[in-house]
């Protein structure tokens, strides 16, 4: 059975999380629809040094892997598959998720493909995972996150753990990518399960 995923990258800090997650996700999904905000492209260059041209986004430029699995969709294109509830897929991940994006989704404001696709996930009872990185959270942020959780979204803050004794920044990034994969029901080998001996 073909697995399909929708991924959005917004302008919050945390571009390395998005890139690493996609590098692993392409091994588990046959199609991944990816939407990026303009701010996301700026943050990707700032945080990773990767230059991704908005008129010519490629998998090679974004994640360093030439793969047909990634299908880039314009965040203004409401005629792309993720905009409709009739499009069957296995969930959506917004990584990183800006507080502006979270606020619009929490309040039913679908002003682009990213927020529309998230709204579709909620109304169709599909898995929606938001990875906010902002800190600290003000009362508006907290209320929006509560509203999203009540609506069925999974809130997975970009808060890597240290119990696996990370030795590098890559280890911390892998921790978060692993948690996203686990929430999607994907078996991962990036980070060992706590107190479980591997075969």
For residues 1-23, give the mean pLDDT. 95
Instruction: Give me the count of residues in the chain.
Output: 199
Residue 80 main-chain phi, psi, to 5 deg? -85, 155
Does the predicted TM-score (pTM) go above 0.85?
yes
Question: What are the distances in angstroms from CA 54 to CA 65, 87, 98, 117?
Answer: 18, 25, 19, 20
Q: What is the pLDDT of residues 123-155, one digit of tens each?
A: 999 999 999 999 999 999 999 999 999 999 999
Q: Residue 161: what pLDDT?
A: 86
Q: How far apart are CA 47 and CA 25, in angstroms?
A: 21
Question: What phi, psi does 72 have (nearest 5°)?
Answer: -85, 130
pLDDT of residue 50: 93
- pLDDT tens digits for 166-179? 899 999 999 999 99
């Amino acid at each position: 059975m073909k697995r399909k995923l929708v991924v959005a990258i917004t302008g919050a800090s945390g571009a390395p999380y998005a890139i690493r997650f996609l590098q692993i996700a392409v091994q588990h999904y046959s199609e991944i629809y990816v939407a990026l905000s303009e701010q996301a492209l700026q943050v990707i260059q700032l945080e990773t040094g990767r230059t991704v041209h908005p008129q010519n986004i490629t998998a090679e430029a974004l994640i360093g892997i030439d793969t047909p699995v990634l299908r880039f969709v314009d965040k203004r294109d409401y005629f792309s598959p993720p905009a409709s509830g009739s499009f069957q897929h296995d969930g959506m991940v917004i990584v990183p998720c800006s507080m502006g994006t979270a606020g619009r989704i929490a309040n039913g404001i679908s002003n682009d493909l990213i927020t529309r696709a998230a709204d579709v996930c909620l109304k169709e009872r599909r898995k929606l995972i938001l990875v906010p990185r902002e800190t600290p959270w003000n009362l508006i942020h907290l209320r929006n996150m509560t509203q999203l959780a009540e609506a069925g979204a999974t809130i997975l803050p970009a808060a890597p753990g240290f119990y696996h004794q990370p030795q590098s920044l890559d280890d911390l990034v892998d921790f978060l990518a692993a948690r996203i994969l686990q929430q999607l029901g994907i078996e991962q080998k990036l980070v060992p399960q706590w107190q479980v001996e591997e075969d």
